[in-house]
Copies of this chain bind each other. A is one copy, B any other.
């Protein structure tokens, strides 16, 4: 767990990446993610109601891509570290320099930019690393044009596989719709993914809660704080996406058809639902912290009382022993061989009476506020 805070700090601002760009003119294409050696993977889908063509494109042949006149073309790119490649695609599809910058710079917050003939949407995938209870994010950019959709992913995630399946299916609804519906379907699959993360996060919260009620450790406390941090991090990342989708639903620039906007509202509802669920998890974690701290304070209470009771039981006996140890000329039962037992009896008697008083005042319970 000790390592996590650093990760967190890095996530907060993606500093190192961001700093690469300070002092450069706007529109400079500098890949700000971790450097990679794998070659980017490019897949192209061309489809309309009647046919679908799916092919993998070599990065060298990217310049052959063009904006189609009809049907829908979906170009998906895994890996955005090859700046030249992005520039070639950008040239083919007339991307604005700032859009290319945003695609390559992997430390953006969700946003949408409206251009004359294009809509640019930037969102985040989330992955939950169950071992470290860590949420990692990777960026996905969507460009929507009249007859094409471009998607750029930082890593291969498999999130769009369900969309591909629908495209390949003969007679599926998506095939009869335009590029705007494809863009919706992609956004939908992104947001659907969030619920997987939420599920895992929620599972870990429950597990923490079980641990908390059975044998809490300071480790538990740290993990609760960590999960709380992750859920706030997640909320901070999804909140702007809510704004983005809300913006798309208002659809002031007519990139989406009336019927697709209907579906977009569904995605919006899911996003709101996600944020509210996160809010619920945050409440749950806050309440777990409260229970932890009240359990802790209750234990301290119990121990202070134990000290009190023990001290009170021993003090009179110790005093009596001291008294009978005095070297005064006369002591009670001085000449009685049973005197020792009399004294011991007095000690036990006092201890018993005190025990009774404590018992009636319910001080012998583990804690002043008794546990049932």
| A residues in contact (CB < 8 Å) with B | 2, 5-6, 8-9, 12-13, 15, 18-19, 21-27, 96, 98, 108-109, 111, 113, 161-162, 166, 172-174, 185, 188-189, 192-193, 195-196, 198-199, 202, 205-206, 209, 213, 215-222, 225, 228-229, 232-233, 236, 240, 262-263, 265-266, 269, 272-273, 276-277, 279-281, 283-284, 287, 290-291, 293-301, 303-308, 310-312, 314-319, 321-340, 343-344, 347, 367-372
Contacts and interface: CB of A to CB of B under 8 A. Distances in A.
Contacts of A303: 304-305, 308, 368
A352 to B, nearest CB: 16
25 contacts: A8-B284, A12-B202, A13-B195, A13-B198, A15-B198, A19-B195, A19-B199, A26-B266, A111-B269, A219-B372, A228-B287, A229-B284, A236-B279, A300-B301, A303-B305, A310-B312, A311-B311, A318-B318, A318-B322, A321-B325, A323-B347, A324-B327, A326-B327, A327-B334, A330-B337
B273 A192 contact: no
B317 A319 contact: yes
A294 B221 contact: yes
Contact of A109 (B276, B333, B334, B340): B276
Contacts of A111: 269
B326 A332 contact: no
A229 B283 CA distance: 8
Given A9-B202, A217-B372, 5 more contacts: A15-B195, A23-B161, A25-B173, A109-B276, A327-B331
Contacts of A336: 329
A280 to B, nearest CB: 4
- In the complex, which of the residues A281, A318, A338 has the most CB atoms of chain B within 10 Å of its own CB atom? A318
A328 B321 CA distance: 10
Question: How many monomers of this protein are in the complex?
Answer: 5
A323 B344 contact: yes
A26 B188 contact: yes
A347 B299 CA distance: 28
A19 B195 CA distance: 7
Which 5 pairs show the lowest CB-CB distances between chains A and B?
A321-B322, A324-B326, A12-B280, A23-B162, A328-B339
B321 A315 contact: no
A25 B225 contact: no
A192 B108 contact: no
B335 A329 contact: yes
Contacts of A12: 202, 277, 280-281, 284
B225 A287 contact: yes
A203 B324 CA distance: 61
Nearest to A12: B280
A186 B170 CA distance: 43
A202 to B, nearest CB: 5
A326 B304 contact: no
B325 A327 contact: yes
